[in-house]
Amino acid sequence: MIVTYNTGGRFIEDCLASLRRLDHADHETIVVDNASKDGTRGILERCRRDEILVFNDENRGFAGGCNDGIARARGEIVALLNFDTEVEPSWLTELVRPFREDPRIAIAGCKMLFPDGRIQHAGGVVHGNGMSEHIGYREADEGQYEEELDVDYVTGAGLAVRREFLEMCGGGLDEDYFPAYCEEVDLCYRARLMGYRVVYVPRAVLTHHESAVLENQSPLFQRVDYRNRVLFCLKNYRLREWLFDFVPYEVHWLRAPWSKGLRRKQVRAYLDALGCVVGRRGMSGEGAP
């Protein structure tokens, strides 16, 4: 399942080419385009082989685009993949293997590398205030993350999820996290809350050109990222989590030297998240999936 939006044709052809080299024969590839206006649709039609293409009339965000694809998917395991990735031939075989071994596994994520071979993601940690962090980020890949293990979450840039669990969650991702970010954190949190496992699978490997559309640490990225992590807490935390997890960690973060210059943006994020909950509205999708 791949979602595109104004990609300018970057990466998607290489991504699809890598999927065609998978050693897992029994799979289908679905690409959902969120009403791109830059020629992405034409590129998809030109390079299409056996892929299923879905063209939306509006930007449905990452979650909405994924849900449109999930509704058309036939498999019992659904894999989500960013368009700016290239997978190893064994990626899908290794990613779905844990589901057959343990019915308690709801979500599995892979090892992600930067194009230079450094680690981008070896599972993820969610801190008390909802901020997330990739394990192993920017470390040299020297075999230190070769153990399959349970984690707080795995990134939606490359994960697999059991359809049965998705049906328990309304059929897909939470579209309130428009246009993008924190959907997978929310999904993994719900899985663990329901007693399911979320696992990191090191033998499932891909390369990811991180934040190819919405540049990492751009003003829009920061606003969306900050807003959605507060929204995640509003949706999921009980009073105990607010008092003993969110507040202490948030105060620590706001007082830290690295938050200087970001505090005003964080206050805005509180208001954005509250507005989303009260008014059931999202933010502008320009520049996001």
Nearest to 132 by CA among 201, 230, 271: 230
Check residue 7 and give its pLDDT: 87
- List the domain boundaries for the chain: 2-208, 219-279
- Alpha helices (runs of H) in 135-201, residue ranges in sequence order: 163-168, 183-193
pLDDT, tens digit (0-9, with 9 covering 90-100), for 71-109: 999 999 999 999 999 999 999 999 999 999 999 999 999
* Domain 2-208 fold: Spore Coat Polysaccharide Biosynthesis Protein SpsA; Chain A (3.90.550)
CB-based burial, 32-50: b 16+ in 10 Å, e otherwise: bbbbbeeebeebbeeeeee
pLDDT, tens digit (0-9, with 9 covering 90-100), for 175-187: 999 999 999 999 9
Check residue 70 and give its pLDDT: 97
Q: What is the mean pLDDT of the chain?
A: 92
Check residue 217 and give its pLDDT: 54
pLDDT, tens digit (0-9, with 9 covering 90-100), for 243-273: 999 999 999 989 988 788 788 888 888 888 9
Check residue 288 and give its pLDDT: 52
Q: For residues 108 and 34, give the distance between their C-alpha atoms in angstroms, rounded to a whole number.
A: 26
Check residue 35 and give its pLDDT: 96
**How crowded is residue 247: how many other Cβ atoms within 10 Å of its Cβ?**
13
Check residue 174 and give its pLDDT: 96
Report yes or no on whether pTM surpasses 0.85: yes
DSSP state, residue 244: I
**Which parts of the chain register pLDDT below 70?**
211-218, 279-289
- The burial of 97, by beta-carbon neighbours within 10 Å (0-12 exposed, 13-18 middle, 19 or more buried), is given as middle
Cβ neighbours of residue 6 closer than 8 Å, sequence gap 6 or more? 36, 37, 38, 40, 213, 287
Check residue 18 and give its pLDDT: 98
- Residue 79 backbone dihedrals phi, psi, to 5 degrees: -105, 135
